[in-house]
Amino acid sequence: MMSQAFYTGISGLKNYSTGIDVIANNLANISTVGFRGYSAEFASLFEDTLQETSTIHSDNVGGGVRVQTSGMNNSQGTLMIGDRSTDLAILGDGWFGIIGEKEETIYTRDGAFSIDANADLVTADGYYVLGTLANNISEENVLTQQLGETPLGDVNTQEKLRFPQTLTFPPQPSTKVNFLGNIGVGYEPVAMGAAVVDAQNNRNDLKLVFTKDPQQTPPGTQYNVVATLKSPDGQTLYDTQSGRVAFDERGALISSTLSTINNNGTDVSINLGTGFDGLISIDTPKTSYSSSVDGTIGGELIEYTINENADIIASFSNGEQSSIGKVAVYHFQNNQGLSRVSGARFQESANSGKAQFYKDTNGQNVIGTTVVNYRLESSNVDIAVGLTELIILQRSYDANSKSITTADQMMQKALEMDA
């Protein structure tokens, strides 16, 4: 049995040395962004049964220890402040997908991304970040569709994310203008106006002038109206339209023949309302009005940001925004089964299962978590816990070393007695 002590002690030295390596690697990566710590899990070897039996004591002798597995710590790491809007952290479960030169997909919690010279979203060492493109940008880098959110595609359709360095939000010409206000009941002309956007990205001036008709037909009142549409500098007249509006005895609008006006190639509908829901004609000392116009002036790209839904948002100089893509967040049935490539990077394995996306109640793919920009997830290794485990493993290693020394001394004495 003295020889068994040698083997038991040696197994302890070998396996606790492995445990020390695991903890040392954790501590070495205490500052690695997105790092997941591991802990060594030990199991006893098969035991030997002694020939003698006893009703009081166990007749089994252990055969040593082995490393059964090293388990991943999936707790959330502390969030650190990042330098860029493309620095991302995942709150909760999930992994970013990146792809390298060999086109293999790697998964990581390290969201220290940036935009390279080719306008691709990449890691610090040039791996491409995967996601879904909205395909709403033309070859001329003009936005073709304004989106609040980009639907996440299927797992196997994710691609490299490219951010155009220049991007134009095209002008959306005005098609309708609404007027609201009181033009009074006097004979003094009343003017009101609005700025309308044309297809050439100009804000042109629409002006309406109301003049009370000298020939009134009771009950109510009638006005002649002239609409003009000019360039902002007033030098170019695009169109002139005239019409007639009528109010009943209460001052409510009952009819208008002024309908549309040409805005440098685009027809704009002029809506004066009906009843009291628009223009009115009431005898009050002061007249006032307001207008609302659709259409949007064009703008140029200011910046990209990434919101909590992982949508890539382009912001423009005209105050408009649009999603142009979405960063993919992958999930696995068993995160413990992922195979570590290096540091904070992993690959799927037979134990982890295939990468998948979560789905909402409508069956649409969703990221299933929250993404935060200007933040990075630090290593989830607790230095205090790591040092404590290191001390325990070191003591265990020393104890097994002592058992080997003791077994050796006992063997020497046995040999001396034999002599």
d(CA 366, CA 245): 53
Of 155, 160, 158, 151, which Cα lies nearest the Cα of 355? 155
Give Cβ neighbours of residue 415 (< 8 Å, ≥ 6 apart).
none
Question: 282 and 237: one domain?
Answer: yes
The per-residue pLDDT string of the chain (419 residues; one tens digit each, 9 = 90 and over) reads 556 666 676 766 677 677 788 888 889 899 899 999 888 776 666 555 555 555 555 556 666 677 666 778 888 999 999 988 899 999 999 999 999 778 889 999 999 999 888 889 999 999 999 999 999 999 999 999 999 999 999 999 999 998 898 999 999 999 999 999 999 988 889 999 999 999 999 999 999 999 999 989 989 999 999 999 999 999 999 999 999 999 999 999 999 999 999 999 999 999 999 999 999 999 886 667 899 999 999 999 999 989 989 999 999 999 999 999 999 999 999 999 999 998 899 999 999 999 999 999 999 999 999 999 999 999 988 888 878 888 887 787 777 777 777 776 777 777 777 55
The residue segments making up the domain with residue 30 are: 2-75+380-418
Question: 159 and 304: one domain?
Answer: yes
d(CA 344, CA 35): 4
**Listed residues 293, 326, 347: the one ending a domain:** 293
Supply 181's token pair.
């206000």
Question: 109 and 164: one domain?
Answer: yes
Question: 215 and 239: one domain?
Answer: yes
Q: In 138-153, which positions are buried (b, 16+ CB within 10 angstroms) versus exposed (e)? A: eeeeebeebbeebebb
d(CA 137, CA 250): 53
Of 295, 105, 104, 291, which Cα lies nearest the Cα of 193? 291
Please give the angle made by the CA atoms of 131, 365 and 102, to the nearest 5 degrees. Answer: 30
The pLDDT of residue 161? 94
Question: 306 and 165: one domain?
Answer: yes
For the chain, what is the domain count?
3
**Listed residues 259, 293, 327: the one ending a domain:** 293
Exposed / middle / buried, residue 381 (Cβ in 10 Å: 0-12, 13-18, 19+):
buried
Supply 61's token pair.
């002798």
The pLDDT of residue 69? 65
